[in-house]
Amino acid sequence: MDRTREFVDRLIAWSPVLLLGALAALTYWLDAQVQAPPARRDGSSRHEPDLFLQDFKALTFDARGKPRESLAAGLAEHFPDDDSADLTNPTLSLTEIGRPTLTIRAERGTIDGDREHARFSGRVHVEREADPKPSNGQDPSGPVTLDTDALQVMTKEQRVQTDRPVTIEEPRGIIRGRGLDFDNKAKRVRIRSQVSGTLQPQAPPK
């Protein structure tokens, strides 16, 4: 009985120490749970390239096995932190059955990790092939070119846009303006402001 009483007295005496120890252990555990994981040292947490390709060309095919997108560049650098790629002298071609091919060339480009958004800069030149079968019963339209110094591209939707000055050339003449929204699928172009240029009336079909 005396030994039991002595053990209880010691336990009571040590209880504040045990409580503080338990609190300290709990605090350490909680801190470990909320701390960010240690940074990896492989460069994946920094925007630094992990590989590069020179003089490459890549193709994407549709469900029928036909080429849908073609991307080429003199140099491509891949960044693991966001899976994006920076391109030097890129050429991007978007092809879809029944629609004219759209080709974009520039001095520089960036492809986002989702592969559906891209940005081009530095002497951006866009070419849309002649459309032999335009919609709405219109006559066949000739090729169209567009020049600007910055362009955003939604590859899946085949839409391009910019807020910079643009120059558009087609068989009827030249149009200049600032800001552009171009939908290759819908064959629709909208120049946002400062529109000027010269267009020749289209000759009636013979």
- Can you spell out the DSSP letters for 183-199? ETTTTEEEEEEEEEEEE
Query: Could you write out the DSSP letters of every residue in 121-139?
Result: EEEEEEEE--BSS-STTPP
**CA-based nearest residue to 161, from 197, 203, 125, 190:** 190
CATH homologous superfamily of 51-199 equals Lipopolysaccharide (LPS) transport protein A like domain (2.60.450.10)
Residues 6+ apart with CB under 8 A from 112: 82, 84, 118
Average pLDDT over residues 148-172: 91
pLDDT digits (tens, 9 = 90+) for 59-112: 888 888 888 888 899 999 999 988 999 999 999 898 877 778 889 999 999 999
Please report the pLDDT score of residue 12 as a whole number.
44
